[in-house]
């Protein structure tokens, strides 16, 4: 069962307890933009708390902790009630990246992130555990290698000082870099954290929850519905990244596009409406981040449209 560090995430008929938008909290200008965006999108009667998902490069969490703490405190004065953190991801040199949870360096980094999370009253820290395998390495990938990786990640997770903040692990897309590379020869794969059910099971065994990324799930091209996929992991679901996906990766000819406005990609509007309807009936609390790619961060039109659509659906769903 869940350990004490995430008891504050679980239990009670609370359903959807926060709608969030990504925010580089080290920059006050971005905080102001995102708070204004949330307040504008939720205008009118709104019973669901508004929140920020703190994001940013590794340097933000290492050198700008005081700015993050100060800026989040200001956001709370303006009506922000929920805060989550997305642990920084560095993909330079792939598996050598210090944020990779299969590397011992990640423990020190995540301890620093959790220190900030406890100071700002974050609900949880969301993290990836990516393996970064080449096509040649994938051909030689075995269950023994999978177990070796998971044992290392588990060992590192046990060394993280979470305080009173929860930890969640996120499902990844397939192939991992299918939005960037065309050919299999160049492709980077993540075979360990793709299946949300496997991630949920592993997270539960390690005292963590699941962040279900709808876009990442959409890259798999499965025949089951999004609602069904989420139902299968609802026992350990604590956070959800909501966005659509456009296209599929095809070796040498096509890439997928991540972070599409919910309903504007291949998944479509109806599946997101049905998902929100289901989430609202859950007995365990879930926060949602509209995690879309904005072309202009100073005028985040894609986030604005996503939030407006989510709140429109919720106004229909909520009694």
Q: Fill in the DSSP letter of residue 250.
A: B
* Cα–Cα dist 259/88, whole Å: 17
- Cα distance between residue 253 and residue 182, in whole Å: 6
Encode 201-210: b = buried (16+ Cβ within 10 Å), e = exposed: ebbbebbbbb
Domain residue spans in the chain? 4-317
Cβ atoms of 203 and 236 within 8 Å: the answer is: yes
148 phi, psi to nearest 5 deg? -65, -45
Indicate left, alpha or beta for 49 from its phi (over 0: left) and psi (-120 to 50: alpha): beta
Three-state secondary structure call for residue 240: strand
CATH match of 4-317 with 3.30.750.24: no
User: What string of pLDDT tens digits covers the 319 residues of the chain?
Assistant: 233 233 333 333 338 999 999 999 999 999 999 999 999 998 776 779 999 999 999 999 999 999 999 999 999 999 999 999 999 988 665 666 778 888 888 999 999 999 999 999 999 999 998 888 889 999 999 999 999 999 999 999 999 999 999 999 999 999 988 888 888 888 889 999 999 999 999 999 999 999 999 999 999 999 999 999 999 999 999 999 999 999 999 988 899 999 999 999 999 999 999 999 999 888 889 999 999 999 998 899 999 999 999 999 998 888 6
> Alpha-carbon distance 12 to 10, whole Å?
7
- Strand pairing class (286-290; 237-242): parallel
In the chain, beta strands by DSSP E: 16-23, 50-54, 82-86, 124-127, 133-134, 166-170, 188-189, 209-213, 237-242, 244-246, 257-260, 286-290
Beta bridge partners of 246: 257
- Give the span between the Cα atoms of 135 and 233, in whole angstroms: 29
pLDDT for the residue 6: 35
């Amino acid at each position: 069962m869940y350990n004490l560090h995430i008891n504050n995430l679980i239990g009670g008929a609370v359903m959807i307890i926060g709608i969030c938008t990504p925010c580089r909290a080290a920059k006050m200008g971005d905080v102001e933009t995102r708070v204004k965006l949330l307040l504008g999108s939720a205008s009118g009667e709104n019973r669901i708390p508004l929140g920020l998902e703190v994001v940013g490069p590794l340097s933000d969490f290492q050198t700008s902790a005081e700015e993050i703490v100060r800026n989040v405190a200001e956001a709370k004065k303006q009506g922000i009630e929920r805060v989550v953190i997305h642990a920084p991801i560095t993909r330079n040199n792939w598996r050598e990246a210090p944020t990779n949870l299969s590397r011992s360096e990640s423990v020190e980094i995540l301890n620093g992130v959790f220190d900030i999370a406890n100071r700002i009253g974050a609900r949880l820290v969301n993290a990836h555990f990516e393996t970064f395998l080449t096509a040649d390495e994938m051909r030689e990938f075995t269950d023994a290698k999978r177990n070796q990786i998971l044992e290392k990640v588990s060992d590192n997770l046990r060394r993280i000082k979470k305080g009173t903040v929860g930890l969640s692990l996120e499902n990844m897309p397939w192939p991992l870099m299918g939005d960037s590379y065309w050919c299999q020869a160049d492709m980077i794969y993540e075979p360990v954290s793709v299946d949300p059910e496997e991630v949920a099971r592993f997270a539960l065994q390690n005292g963590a929850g699941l962040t279900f990324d709808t876009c990442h799930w959409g890259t798999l091209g499965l025949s089951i519905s999004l609602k069904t996929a989420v139902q299968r992991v609802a026992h350990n679901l604590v956070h959800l990244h909501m966005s659509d996906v456009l296209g599929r990766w095809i070796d040498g000819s096509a890439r997928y596009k991540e972070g599409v406005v919910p309903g504007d990609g291949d998944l479509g509007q109806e599946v997101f409406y049905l998902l929100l309807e289901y989430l609202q009936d859950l007995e365990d609390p879930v926060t949602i981040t509209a995690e879309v790619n904005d072309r202009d961060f100073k005028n985040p039109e894609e986030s604005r449209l996503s939030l407006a659509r989510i709140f429109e659906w919720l106004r229909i769903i909520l009694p």
